[in-house]
Amino acid sequence: MISLANNDWTIIPVNDLPARLFNYGWLLAALCTFNLLLYLLFYVAFYYYVPEIKELESSKILYTLKNLSKSLELSILVFMTAPKILQVIMYDEWNNDAMFFWGTVYVSIDLLGLLVVPGLQRDTKIHHTVVCILGTISAISDYRFRGLHQALLALTYLSAVPYIVNTYLGLRHLNNKKLQEGLISACFYVYAISILLNFWIQHMYVFYLIPGGLTVAKLCYLFAYYLILKDDIHLMGYFRYKVKDPSVTSNNNSSNTSIEKLDNGDIVQKEQDTMKDGNATSKVDQLKETQESTVTPVVSVCSDATNTLMSVEKNSVTSVKKPVENEKEAPESEKETSPLSNELSNEHLNSAFSTTLVTSNSEDDAQTPLDNDKKEEIENQKEDLINKPKKSRFNLDFFMQLISKNKIETK
């Protein structure tokens, strides 16, 4: 049953609201200025000690500085607020001033990223906007009373614990692959535990710890939480994919990197189109290489077959002309040759063509129309050469005389 309840979210007294909002405003501005100086400090350090940062685009440089500074600030926040969190867990004691200050620190980190870093995707902007809205409401909340603002504290702290994720995201554009591969597994498991624990605590507060049933305030809070959770799940999918194959980078030709959701919601999806273009280009290059590798052997085979054909024809012509020129000097028995000469020359020609055309026949599926035309031309030359009338050295009259002579001798 959905109903309205006054104890879902407890606000500080109205008389204290102006002072609290004023303090929140100047503290937020001061923290954003401090974060900008931290950006500058990281940039100067990387400029001298990590030269490859100068080769990055301005958006990637700001993205790197944002994540590294966020990782540093979240690590400080986690360890500095740990005693207060233990005090809450063990004694149920809530300090409004401490919650106000550390909540403002967390909001300033995402607010500056939203204002300074260009090219953020829609989910990232929604993520940071939700954090800023919830942080502003938290600044005017009274944590001494049970309500959704206490669930928001758990959400903030457990989101800050996996600060190592921001360390990885800040280093991923730099040339330190070994360090990145070493951080992937830690990021995945720490982030997964944080998300699962956070999911359980949020629903425990909404459905069990806060009385009054399912109210409008609780539904609005769950909706805001699910917007943040959606972005976290996308980032978890990215780390799950990287854990399976750490060697795959965002520039690899892989279609599974459409989940390139980074920086607790900082989504870098521009590489997806680049990878698609890279896949298309690689396919075209592979096709060209295949055609070149098939055309070159076929052309060489055709040229070898043509040379063999010409040499066979030349040898046959010279062998025909030589006895004719020396016909007067040679005896008649040496002028004539066996009728097997034509058959031997034909067999030699057939064997030459069979050996030279084996490769082209085996690659017939990969041939182009030009190769097929070349093959048909060679076959036609072969048939013309075989069927070409040659000056035969076979003499029918001499053969008949020889037979008759043998018959007379036998008698």
Query: Residues 34-47: pLDDT tens digits?
Result: 999 999 999 999 99
Residue 336 pLDDT > 70: no
pLDDT at position 359, please?
44
Q: Could you tell me the end-to-end alpha-carbon distance of the chain, in angstroms, rounded to an integer?
A: 133
- Would you report the helix, strand and coil content of the chain in percent, each value rounded to 5? 80, 0, 20
As a whole number, mean pLDDT of residues 303-319 equals: 52
User: What single-letter DSSP state applies at residue 207?
Assistant: I
Q: What is the pTM of this model?
A: 0.61
Residue 306 pLDDT > 90: no
* Token duo for residue 51: 């030269």
If you average pLDDT over each of 182-186, 294-298, 345-349, which comes out highest? 182-186
Residue 252 pLDDT > 60: no
Q: Which of 144, 78, 141, 65 is nearest to 105 (CA)?
A: 78
Tell me which of 26-30, 254-258, 302-306, 337-341 is least confident.
254-258
| Contact assessment for residue 355 and residue 289, using Cβ atoms and an 8 Å cutoff | no
Maximum Cα interatomic distance, the chain, rounded to a whole number of Å: 152
Q: Which of 125, 135, 193 is nearest to 164 (CA)?
A: 193
**346 vs 72, higher pLDDT:** 72
What gap in Å lies between CA 191 and CA 262, rounded to an integer?
13
What gap in Å lies between CA 117 and CA 120, rounded to an integer?
7
Interval 397-408: pLDDT, tens: 555 555 554 445
Confidence of residue 394 (pLDDT cuts 50, 70, 90): very low
Q: State the chain's mean pLDDT as an integer.
A: 74
Ramachandran angles phi, psi of 311, nearest 5°: -65, -40
Residue-range domain boundaries for the chain: 2-268, 279-410
Q: List 141's β-bridge partners, or say none.
A: 11
Taking the CA atoms of residue 121, residue 122, residue 123 and residue 125 in that order, the dihedral angle to the nearest 10 degrees is: 90
pLDDT at position 52, please?
86
| Residue 263, amino acid | D
